[in-house]
Chain A
Amino acid sequence: MNLNLNLAFRAMNLSMLYAASLLVSVDRREEWLSEWKAELWHVADARIERSAFCWHTQREVAAFCLGSFADAQCLRRQAWDEQSKAVNVHSSAMQCLLWLASLFVLCAILACLLPGVRAEYDTVLHPVRPNLLLIAATNFDDHQVPAITYAEFQNWRSSYQRYFDGLGFYRTDTQTVALSATRNGKFIVALASTNMMTLLGLPVRGANIAMDTDRSLPQVILSYDMWVRSFGSDPHAAGRTIRIGEQIVRIAGVLPCSSWKPPVNPDLWLLVPDAQLASGNQDASGYVVAHLTKIGQQAMDTERISVTVRGMGDHEPSFCGIAINGNATGPWRIYLFALFLAALALPAVTSLSMSESSFSSHRPSWKQSMSRWLFLCAKLALISSIAYFASLDIAYARVGGYSETAELMQLMANFLLCLFGFRWALMDQRQRCPVCLRRVTHPARVGLASQTFLGWNGTEMICVGGHTLLHVPSLPTSWFGAQRWLYLDTSWEFLFADLTL
């Protein structure tokens, strides 16, 4: 019985210690609990007789355990005090740079994860071959319409070419494509001559994987949009077989995202030999892609020219040739342009002056001035980097590939982020103590607004390190136009003795 009671009290005492330990910060809890448990063992050893149960001694031991709450509270208070000291670091230059650097890392990681941003880089890395021409007819809405039959193309290709050294043909058709046993849908399929990809100069992604597979089947190349939309950007899509109409074909690879959009944006490019193109619908018209020779380049002085082809018989049809502009602006160029615009617009939103005036002849040392300028440069560099990645995140958050709208949005976001970011950096800099680079705090109104012309009135702020006072006039006057610093002498030090600076 006595033993049971002793055990019950022991369990109660231990539970009190565990409850009190919850007040102690996690990093110190284990050690604190070990100390109290050891002390409890010694208290129990000294007080409790094992054979007998005594209420008085058990009460003493319980009172001892209750003291653990006061101890835990004391440790808790100490942890808070340490935290409040750390709060003083809040407005420091290092804190500011750390925040900006964290934001920069966050934006950069997000940009790396967004498929739209990757596609944008793809367009820059894989531009369409220069000096290409798309030959078609134009309708009243200025849309390019297919106008050349394969027979005309063959006839054209077989004749001597002065202006072109490469010709490719494709025609489009909407067909049912079975992506798997259960998934099928209608897609725009381009039946293209086998030289089409070489002519466009676009590298086919995953072609090396497909190379190892059975090449007896016809080869199909997926457009970037279709690869993202229907295959979920699967890197192992190349080499798989799909069915187009009644024909089984093998995926040879994926086209990179390109800034050039063909007139009928095909989802799949089925590369077929000439015989198959010739055996199809003889009246179906398509497009011709041509590469200009040097003579052709000289003749092509505008974006659009008229192309007259020697036809079959006496007929000489005329088409419209439009230069294929496959060079994307790229995010870097857009960024530089936005940065330039922001730099131009900055004087309109804030004063650029960083000149300091002070009440005394005291000036910060060259080292302090240098670190102040370095801090400003670091802030501006981080802000412009954040603006670069954040604008990409904004522009491509909901866009999976290259688009002109996204580029425009990137330009706008970049400009605004740079402009207001730089404005913040300059305004923040003006409120940094020239000695320790902390932000001045504790604003206090001084003077009366009604006595502006009789005495100084404005806001006074102090550096938490006790180095300076900043006076900002409410209304700039001829005798107090800009903010002024007052450097505090050593007599102020006792007020800031407890601060860890």
Chain B
Amino acid sequence: MAAETKLSHTAAMILQAIHAGYVYGFSIMEVTGLPSGTVYPAMRRLERDELIRSQWELQSIADSEQRPPRKYYKLTAVGKTALESSRKRYPLLERLFPVEEAQQV
């Protein structure tokens, strides 16, 4: 997908959330307030368009914390460029969930 592609507000919010450090589906739902039926399909489309990519957590880490392994999402280079363009389009996006806040969480 071209870097100049115009993203929907939802997609831009999800990209911003991932960029801010909310890297798995449930945390993105929590921070954006979007329902699961919106967040997960949007993430599928973003992954298809190669704006984000996913990776399974190591089983050993999940075992040590006694929980099932999570699937983590990460912005790609194209995704970062698309997020930059979206920030120009939606100036308030950056203020929704600043990076520092997520890192503290």
Contact = CB atoms under 8 A, between A and B. Distances in A.
B44 interface: yes
Given A39-B24, A75-B44, A78-B44, A66 B69 contact: no
A73 B69 CA distance: 24
B68 A74 contact: no
B89 interface: no
B40 A70 contact: yes
A66 B41 CA distance: 13
Contacts of B45: 74, 78
Interface in A17-51: 34-35, 37-39, 41-43, 45-46
Interface stretch (B6-14, B31-39, B75-83, B97-105): B31-39
A67 to B, nearest CB: 3
Interface string B27-64: 00100000111111100110010000000000000000
A42 B70 contact: yes
A446 B71 CA distance: 55
A38 B36 contact: no
B41 A63 contact: no
A78 B40 CA distance: 13
Contacts of B25: 35, 39
Nearest to A42: B26
B67 interface: yes
A74 B10 CA distance: 15
Interface residues of B, number: 19
A8 B89 CA distance: 46
A34 B67 CA distance: 12
A71 interface: yes
Contacts of B48: 78
Contacts, number: 61
A68 B26 CA distance: 12
A37 B67 contact: no
B68 A38 contact: yes
A166 B85 CA distance: 100
Given A63-B36, A67-B36, A45 B41 contact: no
A64 B34 CA distance: 10
B36 A64 contact: yes
B40 A38 contact: no
B49 to A, nearest CB: 11
Interface of B is mostly: helix
Contact of A63 (B35, B40, B67): B35
Given A35-B25, A39-B24, A41-B68, A66 B44 contact: no
B29 to A, nearest CB: 8
B44 A38 contact: no
A69 interface: yes
Which range contains the number of A residues in contact with the other chain?
20 to 34
A68 B70 contact: no
Contacts of A38: 67-71
A37 B70 CA distance: 10
Nearest to A71: B40
A67 B37 contact: yes
Contacts of B44: 71, 74-75, 78
B36 A68 contact: yes
Interface in A64-120: 64-71, 73-75, 78
B32 to A, nearest CB: 13
A67 B71 contact: no
Contacts of A78: 44-45, 48
A73 B67 CA distance: 28
Nearest to A70: B37
Contacts of B26: 39, 42-43, 46
Nearest to B47: A78
A173 to B, nearest CB: 82
Contacts of A64: 29, 35-36
Interface in A232-257: none
A223 B44 CA distance: 70
Contact of B40 (A42, A45, A67): A67
Contacts of A69: 37
A350 B90 CA distance: 64
Contact of A70 (B24, B38, B69): B38
A43 B30 CA distance: 10
A38 B37 CA distance: 16
Contacts of A46: 26
B60 to A, nearest CB: 15
Nearest to B25: A39
Given A35-B25, A39-B25, A71-B44, A45 B67 contact: yes
Contacts of B70: 38-39, 42
Contact of B41 (A34, A39, A42, A70): A70
22 contacts: A34-B71, A35-B71, A38-B67, A38-B70, A39-B70, A42-B24, A42-B26, A42-B70, A43-B26, A45-B67, A66-B36, A67-B38, A67-B40, A68-B36, A68-B37, A70-B38, A71-B36, A71-B41, A73-B41, A74-B41, A74-B45, A75-B44
Top 3 closest A-B pairs, CB basis? A67-B36, A67-B37, A70-B37
Interface of B: 24-26, 29, 35-41, 44-45, 48, 67-71
Given A39-B24, A39-B70, A70-B41, 14 more contacts: A35-B25, A38-B68, A42-B24, A43-B26, A45-B67, A64-B35, A64-B36, A66-B36, A67-B39, A68-B40, A70-B38, A71-B41, A78-B44, A78-B48
